[in-house]
Amino acid sequence: MKKISEAVVRRLPVYLQVLSDLSKRDVQTVSSQELGNKLDLNPAQIRKDLAYFGEFGRKGIGYDVSYLIEKIRQILKLDQGLNVGLVGAGNLGRALCNYNTYLKDNMKITAVFDANPAMIGAAINSLVVMPMDQLKDIVAARNIRIGIITVPAVEAQNVADGFVEAGVEGILNFAPTILRVPEHVRIHYADFTTELLSLAYYLEKEGDETDEPLVD
Amino acid sequence: MKKISEAVVRRLPVYLQVLSDLSKRDVQTVSSQELGNKLDLNPAQIRKDLAYFGEFGRKGIGYDVSYLIEKIRQILKLDQGLNVGLVGAGNLGRALCNYNTYLKDNMKITAVFDANPAMIGAAINSLVVMPMDQLKDIVAARNIRIGIITVPAVEAQNVADGFVEAGVEGILNFAPTILRVPEHVRIHYADFTTELLSLAYYLEKEGDETDEPLVD
């Protein structure tokens, strides 16, 4: 299969969500125009994205919804079952555990850890917070492949090192700091402040922006 | 100034963070190589990004840290002061309010709302949860320009409509659903499941992936 660009990979879960909604409503085919309306994307862009899967749609009929769902689930490895571990049982960590409801498709947070002794043993839905010294054993025992970091920035690198040592293959970091991991570990950043600050750039009304030339 | 691409805008907060760390340690100049090491980016990419600001660095000296910080803050409108409102005072909403500590630079969550009567009046740090019927008045009174949505997916469109009616210019949506907003309102998605699912794509070990051709 052709290598899929990062931008397309990021759109796949969104396609999957829209297609799943359609499937729940017993919709069997969908046009690129309809998908475009739902996703605020150009239909030509959608046709190009979907062409990666060898699925081109048929004129006047559209795309087969359940075929696309199956294909995207395969590409995202959702057909495999994927266990996720989380370190940091504060508000954010707890909120993420609640997303388990949305994480159908065999991808689940199956273990939660915290360094704070007062947190150990606390229940978050069906999970029980475990101490950090069990991270390595539990990651191995439960075949955890992705680690989520929801600890303060100053502790994040230590937690990342722990996850790497325990053998996870991917890390999703919510701490507002850059982390160093070996090349074979994929790291994604989900820092909310980054989203918020880049959103600010697009606000329409300008305040006191100057017209000074961009030189020293 | 040249129009800045979306990808570069998303990197600006990350540059800002690294540069602020350097500045705190009294570092006055930095090379694209050093920035590249810290950010896991190619130095050539960094030089290209920074060229947007008319700042090219000087051979053997590097970039002026405080000048870059000032420039990026201007571009992200952090020199203006920016108030943010949040709807949904659950775990995620509370976690985001805690980020106010990181949101220096005049960008702050200044109001929290919830539809649940049991939540009204509760304190989250220095904020008090307010009822939804005050959203419009408070957004106007506090000049809130960005709205954050941390409610369940089924309620998210209603909340977005409320923010739009109240006059916000940008929305950051954490609910795992696509929202419709008018063209003049910028919407960013911070859905954690999307991040997690796209991360899964990059895991190295393949499970039971088939080699079947990608045709029907």
**At A97, which CATH number?**
3.40.50.720
B142 lies within 8 A of chain A by CB:
no
Interface of A with B in 49-88 (CB under 8 A): 53-55, 64, 67, 71, 74-82, 84
Residue B203 lies in a domain: no
Residue A210 lies in a domain: no
Query: What is the predicted pLDDT for the residue at B102?
Result: 61
Domain boundary among B57, B75, B93: B75
Distance CA B75, CA A168 (A): 37
Distance CA B138, CA A10 (A): 35
A67 and A98 in a common domain: no
Structurally, chain B folds into a number of domains equal to: 2
Strand order in the sheet with A107-114: A123-124, A127-131, A107-114, A82-87, A144-149, A170-173, A186-189
pLDDT digits (tens, 9 = 90+) for A125-152: 889 999 999 999 999 999 999 999 999 8
Q: Is the pLDDT of residue A208 over 60?
A: no
Residue B97 lies in a domain: yes
More confident residue, B110 or A198: B110
A168 and A86 in a common domain: yes
A125 and A105 in a common domain: yes
User: Which value does ipTM take for this structure?
Assistant: 0.75
A104 and A13 in a common domain: no
Chain B nearest C-alpha distance from A134 (Å): 23
A96 and A31 in a common domain: no
Distance CA B132, CA A124 (A): 28
Distance CA A152, CA A175 (A): 6
Sequence-distant (6+) residues with CB within 8 A of B77 are A200, A201, A203, A206, A207, A209
Residue that the structure tokens 């125009």 belong to: A33
Residue A36 lies in a domain: yes
CA-based nearest residue to B38, from B15, B70, B58: B15
A110 and A32 in a common domain: no
**Is B162 marked as a binding-site residue?**
no
- Looking up residue A62, the CATH number of its domain turns out to be 1.10.10.10
B116 and B168 in a common domain: yes
Domain boundary among A54, A75, A96: A75
pLDDT digits (tens, 9 = 90+) for B44-92: 888 888 887 776 677 778 899 998 998 888 888 887 778 999 999 998 9
A93 and A70 in a common domain: no
* Residue of chain B whose alpha carbon sits nearest to that of A74: B209
Residue A16 lies in a domain: yes
B179 and B94 in a common domain: yes
Q: How does residue A207 score in pLDDT terms, banded at 50, 70 and 90?
A: very low
pLDDT digits (tens, 9 = 90+) for A33-70: 898 888 777 888 888 888 877 766 777 788 999 989 98
A88 and A16 in a common domain: no
Provide the domain limits for residue A169.
82-197
Using the beta-carbon criterion (under 8 Å), do A202 and B107 form an inter-chain contact? no
B90 and B31 in a common domain: no
B113 and B91 in a common domain: yes
Residue B69 lies in a domain: yes
Residue B100 lies in a domain: yes
Q: Is the pLDDT of residue A1 over 70?
A: no
Domain boundary among B50, B75, B100: B75
**pTM for the complete prediction?**
0.74
Using the beta-carbon criterion (under 8 Å), do A77 and B178 form an inter-chain contact? no
More confident residue, A78 or B144: B144
More confident residue, A177 or B136: B136
Q: In this structure, what are the phi and psi dihedrals at residue A131, rounded to the nearest 5 degrees?
A: -75, 155
Residue A215 lies in a domain: no
Q: How does residue B210 score in pLDDT terms, banded at 50, 70 and 90?
A: very low
Torsion over CA: B130, A95, B198, B37 (sign): positive
